Chains A and B, each alone.
Chain A
Amino acid sequence: MTAVIRTDALTKHYGRVHALDGLDLVVEAGQVHGFLGPNGAGKSTTIRILLGLARPTSGTATVFGSDPWTDAARLHRRLASVPGDVSLWPNISGGEAIDLVYRMRGGGTGPAYDTARRRLCDAFQLDTRTKGRAYSKGNRQKVALIAAFAVPAELYVLDEPTSGLDPLMEVVFRQEVARVRDAGATVLLSSHILSEVELLCDRVSIVRAGRIVDTGSLAEMRHLTRTEVSFAASARATSAAAATVPGAEGVREDEGRISLTLASDAVAVALPRLAELGVEGLRVAPPSLEELFLRHYGASDAPGEGTRR
Chain B
Amino acid sequence: MRTIGLLLRQRARRDAVSLAVWLAGLAALAVAGYPGVRSSYGDEQERVALLGTVMANPVVLLFRGLPSGAGEAQMVAFLLLPWLLLLVALMCSFLAVRHTRGDEEDGRLELVSATAAGRTAPLVATALHGVGASIVAGAVVAVIFVASGAPPVGAALIAAGCTLAGTVFLGVGLVSAELMPTSRAANALAVWLVVGTFALAGTGNALGTPSADLTRMTSSALAWFSPFGWAENTRPFDTDDAWPLAASVLATLVLLGGAALLHARRDLGASFVPPRTGRAAARPGFATHLALTVRQSRAAGIGWIVAGLLVGILSTSLAGVASRIGEGNPAVTSLLQALSGTSADLSRGLIVVFFVMLGIFAACAATQTVLRARQDETQGTAELVLGGGLTRTRWLADHVVVAAACAVLTIAAGIAGAAAGALSGGTDADLIRAAAVAGAGQIVPACLFAAWAAVLVVALPRTAIALAWALVAIAAVIALFGPLFGLSTAVVNASPFASGPVPTGEGVDPRGIVPLLVVAAVGVAAALGGMHRRELVA
- Interface set of A (CB-CB < 8 Å, partner B): 48, 51-55, 72-73, 76-77, 81, 83, 85-97, 99-101, 103-106, 109, 128-131, 133-134, 144
Would you give the shortest CB distance from B294 to chain A, in whole angstroms? Answer: 12
Q: Which residue of A54, A77, A91, A100 contacts B286 across the interface (Cβ within 8 Å)?
A: A100
List B residues 267-283 near A (Cβ within 8 Å). Answer: 275-282
Q: Which residue of A52, A77, A87, A96 contacts B282 across the interface (Cβ within 8 Å)?
A: A96
Asked if B277 and A93 make an inter-chain contact with CB atoms under 8 angstroms apart, the answer reads yes
Please, which residues of chain A bring their CB within 8 A of the CB of B280?
A: 93, 95, 128-129
Asked if B279 and A93 make an inter-chain contact with CB atoms under 8 angstroms apart, the answer reads yes
Please, which residues of chain A bring their CB within 8 A of the CB of B392?
A: 72
Please, which residues of chain B bring their CB within 8 A of the CB of A87?
A: 379-381, 383-384
Docked complex Cα distance between A89 and B380 (Å) = 9
Asked if A96 meets B275 with Cβ closer than 8 Å, knowing A53-B535, A54-B535, the reply is no
Asked if B386 and A51 make an inter-chain contact with CB atoms under 8 angstroms apart, the answer reads yes
Asked if A99 and B275 make an inter-chain contact with CB atoms under 8 angstroms apart, the answer reads no
B184 beta carbon closer than 8 Å to chain A: yes
Q: Which residue of A85, A96, A103 contacts B279 across the interface (Cβ within 8 Å)?
A: A96
B149 beta carbon closer than 8 Å to chain A: no
B387 beta carbon closer than 8 Å to chain A: yes
Asked if B278 and A53 make an inter-chain contact with CB atoms under 8 angstroms apart, the answer reads no
Residue of A nearest to B536 (CB): A53
Asked if A83 meets B278 with Cβ closer than 8 Å, knowing A73-B390, A89-B296, A92-B295, the reply is no
List B residues 369-407 near A (Cβ within 8 Å). Answer: 379-381, 383-392, 394
Asked if A134 and B275 make an inter-chain contact with CB atoms under 8 angstroms apart, the answer reads yes
Would you give the shortest CB distance from B378 to chain A, in whole angstroms? Answer: 10
Q: List 15 A-B contacts (CB under 8 A).
A: A53-B383, A54-B536, A72-B392, A87-B379, A87-B381, A87-B383, A89-B296, A90-B182, A96-B286, A100-B291, A103-B286, A104-B287, A104-B288, A129-B279, A134-B275
Residue of B nearest to A96 (CB): B282
Asked if B279 and A81 make an inter-chain contact with CB atoms under 8 angstroms apart, the answer reads no
Docked complex Cα distance between A243 and B391 (Å) = 64
Asked if A95 meets B278 with Cβ closer than 8 Å, knowing A100-B292, A104-B288, the reply is yes
Asked if A83 meets B288 with Cβ closer than 8 Å, knowing A93-B278, A95-B281, the reply is no
Please, which residues of chain B bring their CB within 8 A of the CB of A53?
A: 383, 386-387, 535-536
Asked if B385 and A101 make an inter-chain contact with CB atoms under 8 angstroms apart, the answer reads yes
Q: Which residue of A104, A130, A144 contacts B278 across the interface (Cβ within 8 Å)?
A: A130
Please, which residues of chain A bring their CB within 8 A of the CB of B388?
A: 76, 81, 101, 104-105
B289 beta carbon closer than 8 Å to chain A: yes
List B residues 89-133 near A (Cβ within 8 Å). Answer: 105
B284 beta carbon closer than 8 Å to chain A: yes
Asked if B383 and A83 make an inter-chain contact with CB atoms under 8 angstroms apart, the answer reads yes
Asked if B386 and A52 make an inter-chain contact with CB atoms under 8 angstroms apart, the answer reads yes
Instruction: Please list the 7 inter-chain residue pairs (A to B) with the smallest Cβ-Cβ separation, ordered nearest first.
Output: A93-B278, A99-B282, A87-B380, A103-B287, A96-B282, A76-B389, A129-B277
Asked if B277 and A83 make an inter-chain contact with CB atoms under 8 angstroms apart, the answer reads no
Docked complex Cα distance between A83 and B296 (Å) = 21
Asked if A106 and B389 make an inter-chain contact with CB atoms under 8 angstroms apart, the answer reads yes
Looking at chain B's contact residues, the main secondary structure is loop
Please, which residues of chain B bring their CB within 8 A of the CB of A96?
A: 278-279, 281-282, 286
Asked if A130 and B389 make an inter-chain contact with CB atoms under 8 angstroms apart, the answer reads no
Docked complex Cα distance between A134 and B182 (Å) = 10
Asked if B381 and A104 make an inter-chain contact with CB atoms under 8 angstroms apart, the answer reads no
Asked if A133 and B182 make an inter-chain contact with CB atoms under 8 angstroms apart, the answer reads yes
Interface string of B277-311 (1 = CB under 8 A from A): 11111101011110110011000000000000000
- Interface set of B (CB-CB < 8 Å, partner A): 105, 182, 184, 275-282, 284, 286-289, 291-292, 295-296, 379-381, 383-392, 394, 535-536
Docked complex Cα distance between A289 and B34 (Å) = 76
Please, which residues of chain B bring their CB within 8 A of the CB of A92?
A: 278, 292, 295
Please, which residues of chain A bring their CB within 8 A of the CB of B385?
A: 101, 104
Asked if B390 and A95 make an inter-chain contact with CB atoms under 8 angstroms apart, the answer reads no
Docked complex Cα distance between A234 and B383 (Å) = 62
Would you give the shortest CB distance from B94 to chain A, in whole angstroms? Answer: 18
Asked if A85 and B292 make an inter-chain contact with CB atoms under 8 angstroms apart, the answer reads no
Please, which residues of chain A bring their CB within 8 A of the CB of B279?
A: 93, 95-96, 129
Please, which residues of chain A bring their CB within 8 A of the CB of B287?
A: 99-100, 103-104
Please, which residues of chain A bring their CB within 8 A of the CB of B381?
A: 87-89
Docked complex Cα distance between A55 and B182 (Å) = 36
Please, which residues of chain B bring their CB within 8 A of the CB of A54?
A: 535-536
Asked if A83 and B387 make an inter-chain contact with CB atoms under 8 angstroms apart, the answer reads yes
Asked if A104 meets B295 with Cβ closer than 8 Å, knowing A95-B282, A133-B182, the reply is no
Asked if A48 meets B275 with Cβ closer than 8 Å, knowing A83-B380, A105-B389, the reply is no
Please, which residues of chain A bring their CB within 8 A of the CB of B276?
A: 131
Asked if A104 and B277 make an inter-chain contact with CB atoms under 8 angstroms apart, the answer reads no
Would you give the shortest CB distance from B288 to chain A, in whole angstroms? Answer: 7
Asked if A85 and B380 make an inter-chain contact with CB atoms under 8 angstroms apart, the answer reads yes
Would you give the shortest CB distance from B303 to chain A, in whole angstroms? Answer: 15
Asked if B535 and A55 make an inter-chain contact with CB atoms under 8 angstroms apart, the answer reads yes
Q: Which residue of B184, B384, B391, B394 contacts A101 across the interface (Cβ within 8 Å)?
A: B384
Docked complex Cα distance between A91 and B381 (Å) = 12
Would you give the shortest CB distance from B151 to chain A, in whole angstroms? Answer: 50
Docked complex Cα distance between A99 and B279 (Å) = 11
Q: Which residue of B105, B277, B389, B536 contacts A48 across the interface (Cβ within 8 Å)?
A: B536
Residue of B nearest to A133 (CB): B182
Please, which residues of chain B bring their CB within 8 A of the CB of A51?
A: 383, 386-387
Docked complex Cα distance between A129 and B384 (Å) = 19
Docked complex Cα distance between A144 and B383 (Å) = 12
Residue of A nearest to B535 (CB): A54
Please, which residues of chain B bring their CB within 8 A of the CB of A93?
A: 277-280
Docked complex Cα distance between A129 and B380 (Å) = 21
**Apart from A87-B383, A133-B182, what 16 extra A-B contacts exist at CB < 8 Å?**
A48-B536, A53-B386, A55-B535, A72-B391, A81-B388, A87-B380, A87-B384, A88-B381, A92-B292, A94-B278, A96-B279, A97-B384, A99-B286, A100-B292, A105-B388, A129-B277
Would you give the shortest CB distance from B275 to chain A, in whole angstroms? Answer: 6
Residue of A nearest to B379 (CB): A87
Asked if A131 and B184 make an inter-chain contact with CB atoms under 8 angstroms apart, the answer reads no
Of the listed residues B291, B380, B387, B390, the one surrounded by the most CB atoms of chain A closer than 10 A to its CB is B387
Would you give the shortest CB distance from B267 to chain A, in whole angstroms? Answer: 14
Please, which residues of chain A bring their CB within 8 A of the CB of B182?
A: 90, 133
Asked if A131 meets B278 with Cβ closer than 8 Å, knowing A53-B536, A104-B389, the reply is yes
Residue of A nearest to B282 (CB): A99
Docked complex Cα distance between A127 and B536 (Å) = 31
Docked complex Cα distance between A167 and B370 (Å) = 42
Please, which residues of chain B bring their CB within 8 A of the CB of A91?
A: 184, 278, 296
Docked complex Cα distance between A100 and B278 (Å) = 14
Of the listed residues B278, B288, B292, the one surrounded by the most CB atoms of chain A closer than 10 A to its CB is B278
Please, which residues of chain B bring their CB within 8 A of the CB of A128?
A: 280-281
Docked complex Cα distance between A128 and B291 (Å) = 20
Please, which residues of chain B bring their CB within 8 A of the CB of A144?
A: 384
Residue of A nearest to B285 (CB): A103
Would you give the shortest CB distance from A257 to chain B, in whole angstroms? Answer: 44
Of the listed residues A72, A73, A88, the one surrounded by the most CB atoms of chain B closer than 10 A to its CB is A73
